[in-house]
Structure 1
Amino acid sequence: MFAWYKEVTSPQKKAIFSAWLGYVFDGFDFMLIFYIMYLIKPELGLTDMEGAFLATAAFVGRPLGGAIFGLLADRYGRKPLMMWAIVAYSVGTGLSGLAVSGLTLALARFVVGMGMAGEYACASTYAVESFPKHLKAKASAFLVSGFGVGNIIAAYFMPAFAEAFGWRMAFFVGLTPILLVLYIRSKAPESKEWEDAKKAREASGEVRQYESFFSVLWGALKGLFNPTQLPLTLVVFVVLFSIFGANWPIFGLLPTYMAGVGFETAVISKLMTAAAFGTVAGNITWGLLADRFGLKKTFVLGLLSSFFFIIPLFMIPEGNNFLLGLCLFGLMFTNVGVGGLMPKFIYDYFPLEVRGLGTGLIYNLAATSGTFNSMAATYIGLTYGLGTALTFVVSFWTFTLVTIIGFGIPDWLLVRANKKRAAKAAQVEAAQLETAQVLK
Structure 2
Amino acid sequence: MNSVTESVSAARRRTPLNRSQIAGFWGAWAGWTLDGMDSFIYALVLTPALTELLPRSGYAATPANVGLAGSILFALFLVGWGLSFIWGPLADRFGRTKVLAGTIFTFAIFTGLAATSHNVWELAIYRFIAGVGIGGEWALAGTYVAESWPEDRRKMGAGYLQTGYYAGFFLAAALNYTIGVHFGWRAMFLTGAVPVVVAILVLLRVKETEKWQKADAGTEHVKPLREIFGPVYRRRTWVACILLTIAIVGLWAGAVYEPSAVIQLATKAGMAKNDAIRTASLATGLLSIATILGCLALPPMAERIGRKKTLAFYFTGMAVAIAGSFGWAFYLPNGLAPFIAWLFVLGFFGGNFALFSLWLPEQFETRVRATAFAFCTSFGRFVGAGVNFLLGAAVLHMHTLGVPVALTALAFIAGLFVIPFAPETKGEVLPQ
Matched with 2:84 is: 65
Matches of 1:111 and 1:8 in 2, distance apart?
39
Matched with 1:295 is: 307
Letter in 1 for 2:53: L
Matched with 1:9 is: 17
What is the CA distance between 1:310 and its match in structure 2? 2.6
Matches of 1:255 and 1:56 in 2, distance apart?
18
User: Cα 1:5–1:90, aligned 2, differ >3 Å: closer, same or farther?
Assistant: farther
Superposed CA offset, 1:335-381 (max 9, x none): x1122111222213333211112222231121123322222223233
What is the CA distance between 1:260 and its match in structure 2? 3.4
Matched with 1:311 is: 323
Q: 2:30 pairs with 21, 42, 49, which one?
A: 21
Q: 1:247 pairs with 251, 257, 265, which one?
A: 251
User: Cα 1:311–1:383, aligned 2, differ >3 Å: closer, same or farther?
Assistant: same
Q: 2:238 pairs with 234, 238, 242, which one?
A: 234
Residues 325-404 of structure 1 mapped to structure 2, 5 A cutoff? 325-334=340-349, 336-381=350-395, 382-383=397-398, 385-393=400-408, 395-404=409-418
Matches of 1:284 and 1:302 in 2, distance apart?
13
Residues 98-113 of structure 1 mapped to structure 2, 5 A cutoff? 98-113=116-131
Superposed CA offset, 1:184-231 (max 9, x none): 234322222212212322xxxx25xxxxxxxx6xx2222122233222
What is the CA distance between 1:308 and its match in structure 2? 4.0
Residues 14-413 of structure 1 mapped to structure 2, 5 A cutoff? 14-45=23-54, 47=65, 48-67=67-86, 69-201=87-219, 206-207=220-221, 219-263=223-267, 264-314=276-326, 315-316=328-329, 317-319=332-334, 321-334=336-349, 336-381=350-395, 382-383=397-398, 385-393=400-408, 395-405=409-419, 408-411=420-423
What is the CA distance between 1:85 and its match in structure 2? 0.9
Matches of 2:39 and 2:308 in 1, distance apart?
28
Number of equivalences: 394
Letter in 2 for 1:18: G
Letter in 1 for 2:243: V
Matched with 2:4 is: none
Matches of 1:361 and 1:338 in 2, distance apart?
19
Q: Does the 8 Å contact 1:93/1:174 carry over to 2?
A: yes
Matches of 2:233 and 2:318 in 1, distance apart?
32
Q: Does the 8 Å contact 2:33/2:165 carry over to 1?
A: yes
Query: RMSD between aligned alpha carbons?
Result: 2.2
What is the CA distance between 1:23 and its match in structure 2? 0.3
With the length of structure 1 as denominator, give the TM-score of the two structures.
0.84
Matched with 1:423 is: none
- Secondary structure of 1:312's aligned partner: helix
Matches of 2:154 and 2:45 in 1, distance apart?
36
Higher-Rg structure is 1
User: Cα 1:163–1:305, aligned 2, differ >3 Å: closer, same or farther?
Assistant: closer
- Secondary structure of 2:93's aligned partner: helix
Matches of 2:205 and 2:174 in 1, distance apart?
30
Superposed CA offset, 1:63-103 (max 9, x none): 32322x21111011101111111100001101111112221
Q: Does the 8 Å contact 1:252/1:374 carry over to 2?
A: no
Letter in 1 for 2:317: S
Question: Identity rate of aligned residues, in percent?
Answer: 23
- Secondary structure of 2:153's aligned partner: helix
Q: Does the 8 Å contact 1:52/1:253 carry over to 2?
A: no
What is the CA distance between 1:322 and its match in structure 2? 4.2
Q: Does the 8 Å contact 2:263/2:279 carry over to 1?
A: no
Q: Which runs of 5+ in 2 are unaligned?
A: 1-6, 55-60, 268-275, 426-432
Q: Does the 8 Å contact 1:44/1:101 carry over to 2?
A: yes
What is the CA distance between 1:22 and its match in structure 2? 0.7
- Secondary structure of 1:7's aligned partner: coil
With the length of structure 2 as denominator, give the TM-score of the two structures.
0.85
- Secondary structure of 2:422's aligned partner: helix
Q: Does the 8 Å contact 1:242/1:369 carry over to 2?
A: no
Letter in 2 for 1:161: I
What is the CA distance between 1:4 and its match in structure 2? 6.2
What is the CA distance between 1:35 and its match in structure 2? 0.4
User: Cα 1:294–1:136, aligned 2, differ >3 Å: closer, same or farther?
Assistant: farther
